[in-house]
Amino acid sequence: MIYLAVKTRLGLTKKNQILVIGNNEDSSTPELEKIAYETGAEIAKSSCVLITGGLGGVMGAASHGARDNGGIVVGIIPQNDPAYANEYCDIVIPSGLGLTRDFLTALSGDGVIVIGGGSGTLSEVCAAYMYNKPIAAIRGTGGTAEKYLDQYIDSRKKIKIIGVDSPKEAVKYILEQITS
């Protein structure tokens, strides 16, 4: 399924951008990386741009999946040296912002897919939540995804984090939200 790009305020077209977040290379598992790879592949097949934090683990696996399927991969890394980015990034943005780059990644995606994750992932989820970005969490991946799926972050009930069962379902959900 291919979705058309959205029009910007200036009438230009922009490709849809989906952020994938989750475990870094220190806490990732082969199972999580398989799911992330499939998620990146689904994003590429839907003609969207993959946005990640540009490093390893879930970020690297999603980047690999998107690249293998002809997608565009943007990595927004916390360091100021682009050499830290994973090898599958087509575009590297060396933010030099350290952990605060989580707001930049969250705001760069039109929607967010969560695969596992820890406190860094949670900070990106919170930033996306505050800016009303649609968020899908893949069931069975543990961590932040599991703790917050099918619920709101707080009593304001801005955006419900929707639990999904597969990468394909996650991408479909995000695209339905951002193209409607």
**Domains of the chain: residue spans and CATH:** 14-179 (3.40.50.450)
Q: How many CB atoms lie within 10 A of CB 177?
A: 16
Q: How confident is the model at residue 10 (pLDDT cuts 50, 70, 90)?
A: low
pTM of the model: 0.94
Cα of first residue to Cα of last residue in the chain, in angstroms, is 15
Q: Which two tokens stand for residue 93?
A: 């943005």
Q: How confident is the model at residue 13 (pLDDT cuts 50, 70, 90)?
A: confident
Is the CB of residue 113 less than 8 Å from the CB of residue 136? yes
Is the CB of residue 159 less than 8 Å from the CB of residue 169? no
Q: How confident is the model at residue 1 (pLDDT cuts 50, 70, 90)?
A: very low
| Nearest-10 crossing angle of helices 30-45, 58-68 | 40
Is the CB of residue 19 less than 8 Å from the CB of residue 113? yes
